[in-house]
Amino acid sequence: MAYSEVLLLKPVDGLGGEGDQVKVRAGYARNYLLLRGFAVPLTRSNRKQVDSLRKRRAERESQELAGAQELAKKLEKTSLAFVVKTGEGGKMFGAITVNDLHDKLAAAGLEIDKRKIHLHTPVKTIGKHEVKIKLHADVSVELAFDVVSENPIEVQQAPAEAPAADGAKKERKERKPRDAKETKE
């Protein structure tokens, strides 16, 4: 397989950021990176662009980090509460998912990408829970939220233990052999 070296002009997920020199398959470079303007072929004249691209990349990354830190401070001050319908014994109908958390944060005025909210399993219990929000490679926040019931929780009472005459505890009867030939005495 043929490879070619290219200079990235824009960040590409899984490959690198602007100013990086990467070696990729020739078809990928020709049909995707060069065609869409994400990269240019690596030549002597293009190597001179590396310094300006790296400088621009450093500025962009510092701005992203500052923005993520500012957003993290806002998230630490934020408290969320979800009011859900419950059945007998406080059992929830449905679950709290990433989409619910995203909608609640958007309603609070915090715009966060859904992919940055890391909730491993949907929340199906009432109480206090935490979710991890990864804003940047270096900045992540643990956001606490409450799930409360819309209606008062009624505790089910266990029925009183019935006497053995109801058949709750039956004694086993001994089995008798079916045929006299099978039993040897």
Mean pLDDT of the chain: 83
- DSSP assignment of the chain, as one string? --EEEEEESS-BTTTB-TT-EEEEEHHHIIIIITTTTSEEE--HHHHTHHHHHHHHHHHHHHHHHHHHHHHHHHHHH--EEEEE-B-GGGPBSS-B-HHHHHHHHHHTT----GGGEE-SS-B-SSEEEEEEEE-SSS-EEEEEEEEEESSPPPPPPPPPPPPGGGTSS-PPPPP--S-TTT---
User: Looking at the domain assignment, is residue 183 inside a domain?
Assistant: no
Q: Which of 28-32, 48-52, 134-138 has the lowest mean pLDDT?
A: 48-52
Mean pLDDT confidence for 104-130: 90
Residue 80 shares a structural domain with residue 117: yes
Residue 167: pLDDT over 90: no
Q: What pLDDT, in 10s, does the model give residues 33-55? A: 999 999 999 888 887 777 777 78
Structure-model confidence comparison of residues 23 and 155, the more confident one: 23
Structure-model confidence comparison of residues 71 and 180, the more confident one: 71
CATH of the domain at 123: 3.10.430.100
User: Looking at the domain assignment, is residue 64 inside a domain?
Assistant: yes
